[in-house]
């Protein structure tokens, strides 16, 4: 840890520029590293930025809660940023309208697979009920997943971590898996990444193409809506 007065760090929350600046700088560096590597999926900017920030917080002795409050502007900006996904959706509206069967089929298969695969593996590994319930909504975006977790009796904090891990994993593995499987249709690639790995996967899909990004955003949205409706009902039944 840095030999600095710990009382100084507690005041960082009063200086948003520090937390926001560190967050933005970490992401810019991570983005340049990925570009330098030729677009390697393994060097996902979100994952690399998280590692950079975790290391910085650790060696500085800064309390994470203080950093989170200082960088609160970034969290606040996420909501309007998500709205921007409507732009590629609007541009691809005709293709989306003509792809109704593909969208319905992908959602009908992807939604239950995302839930059942997670809780099934957890059950086989003898995870407790709290962990299983916290895992169930992991393929939806964080705001929805945390609300679902609270509703069905999971641990919201654990769900938040699992959501981030799911998004990063999908963003890293998704393009590789679809390429290895010979899936080249950007609609299929986008839907798979949006349904399986929500916002982080959608951001990665946008890097592939606007069509993939539009379908990923649509898949993410529909998956979040229907999971929020169906999962609490299913949890109460079983």
> Per residue in 189-198, pLDDT tens?
999 999 999 8
DSSP assignment of 26-92: HHHHHHHHHHHTTS-SSS-HHHHHHHHHHHHHHHHT--HHHHHHHTHHHHHHHHHHHHTTHHHHHHT
**pLDDT at position 113 over 80:** yes
Pair 171, 193: CB distance under 8 Å: yes
pLDDT of residue 17: 72
How many Cβ atoms from other residues are within 10 Å of residue 141's Cβ?
23
Average pLDDT, the chain: 86
Pair 1, 15: CB distance under 8 Å: no
Pair 61, 6: CB distance under 8 Å: yes
How many Cβ atoms from other residues are within 10 Å of residue 152's Cβ?
19
pLDDT of residue 3: 46
The sign of the dihedral angle between the CA atoms of 65, 70, 74, 78 is positive
What's the average model confidence in pLDDT over 95-113? 94
Band of the pLDDT at 80, cuts 50, 70, 90? Answer: confident
Q: CA 207 → CA 34, 66, 83, 136, distances in Å?
A: 12, 33, 17, 28
How many Cβ atoms from other residues are within 10 Å of residue 82's Cβ?
16
pTM summary value? 0.81
- Which pair of tokens denotes residue 235? 């949890």
pLDDT of residue 1: 43
213-215-216-217 Cα dihedral, nearest 10 degrees = 90
pLDDT of residue 103: 95
pLDDT of residue 34: 87
Per-residue pLDDT tens digits for 196-236: 998 889 988 988 999 999 999 999 999 999 999 999 998 88
What's the average model confidence in pLDDT over 132-152? 91
181-96-218-232 Cα dihedral, nearest 10 degrees = -90
From CA 14, how far away is CA 19, in angstroms rounded? 10
pLDDT of residue 100: 93
HSE-CB at 110 with a 13 A cutoff on CA atoms is 28
């Amino acid at each position: 840890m840095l030999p600095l007065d710990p009382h100084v760090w507690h005041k960082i929350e009063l200086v948003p520029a520090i937390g926001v600046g560190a967050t933005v700088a970490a992401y810019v560096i991570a983005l340049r590293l990925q570009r330098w590597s030729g677009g390697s999926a393994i060097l996902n900017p979100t994952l690399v930025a998280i590692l950079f920030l975790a290391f910085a917080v650790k060696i500085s002795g800064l309390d994470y809660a203080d950093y989170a409050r200082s960088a609160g502007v970034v969290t606040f900006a996420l909501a309007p940023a998500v709205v921007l996904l409507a732009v590629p959706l609007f541009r691809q509206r005709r293709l989306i309208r003509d792809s109704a069967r593909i969208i319905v089929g992908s959602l009908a298969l992807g939604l239950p697979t995302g839930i059942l695969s997670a809780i099934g593996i957890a059950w086989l590994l003898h995870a407790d009920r709290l962990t299983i319930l916290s895992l169930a909504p992991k393929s939806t975006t964080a705001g929805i997943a945390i609300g679902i977790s609270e509703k069905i009796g999971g641990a919201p904090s654990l769900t938040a971590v699992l959501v981030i891990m799911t998004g990063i994993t999908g963003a890293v593995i998704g393009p590789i898996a679809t390429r290895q499987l010979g899936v080249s249709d950007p609609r299929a690639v986008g839907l798979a990444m949006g349904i399986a790995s929500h916002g982080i996967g959608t951001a990665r899909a946008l890097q592939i193409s606007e069509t993939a990004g539009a379908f990923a955003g649509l898949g993410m949205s529909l998956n979040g809506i229907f999971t929020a409706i169906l999962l609490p009902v299913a949890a109460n039944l079983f």
